[in-house]
Amino acid sequence: MHPIDSNATLPSLLQDIANTIGFDAAMKLVERFGGTRIYVPRPQSMAWNHPLSEALGSPDAVRLAHAFQGEAVEIPLATDAQRFRRDVEIVSAYSQGATQRELAQKYRTSERNVRKILSRMAHQRTPVRAASGTTQTQPKELERA
């Protein structure tokens, strides 16, 4: 299970893609091709050097080819999902000891924005994955500002 427990923040096409190849692979697709249209060949035509194979790896590219055989698919930007994913990563890193300054530099935002994210996410009590792989509700560590 990914730290984001549902695909609620994803556009419907991206939900279908995530159900086919997984959330992380779907987000790789967004990062590489978001806002553009890409041709998905039939599975038997999926080459190792096709842009989808290069972005996702052959197994996920072939799974995508089975689902969208021969279609030109416009990959959504999924701005809300990308922002939410970033926010979950910030909360997780902060709970593991990263400073607000380090996070602001890493995610190219301000320390003030990091504080806002931490505050907002603490109120939402967002489930995050701990380093051990278990899912937990974000704890009180966020109060260490």
Q: What is the pLDDT of residues 29-82, one digit of tens each?
A: 999 999 999 999 999 999 999 999 999 999 999 999 999 999 999 999 988 888
Whether residue 114 sits in one domain with residue 62: no
Indicate the SS3 state at residue 83.
helix
Distance, CA of 4 to CA of 23 (rounded, Å): 9
Q: Is residue 57 part of a domain?
A: yes
Range of 40's domain? 12-74
Whether residue 116 sits in one domain with residue 59: no
Q: pTM for this structure? A: 0.65
Main-chain dihedrals φ then ψ at residue 43, nearest 5 degrees: -55, -40
What mean pLDDT do residues 86-102 have? 95
Q: Which of 124, 36, 119 is nearest to 76 (CA)?
A: 36
Whether residue 65 sits in one domain with residue 30: yes
Start-to-end CA span in the chain (Å): 29
Q: Is residue 27 part of a domain?
A: yes
Which residue's structure tokens are 């599975």? 43
CATH code of 131's domain: 1.10.10
Task: Please give the pLDDT value at position 133.
Answer: 46
> Which of 31, 52, 74 is the C-terminal boundary of a domain?
74
Q: Is residue 7 part of a domain?
A: no
> Which of 74, 92, 127 is the C-terminal boundary of a domain?
74
Q: Is residue 4 part of a domain?
A: no
Number of domains forming the structure of the chain: 2
Whether residue 136 sits in one domain with residue 117: yes
Whether residue 91 sits in one domain with residue 67: no
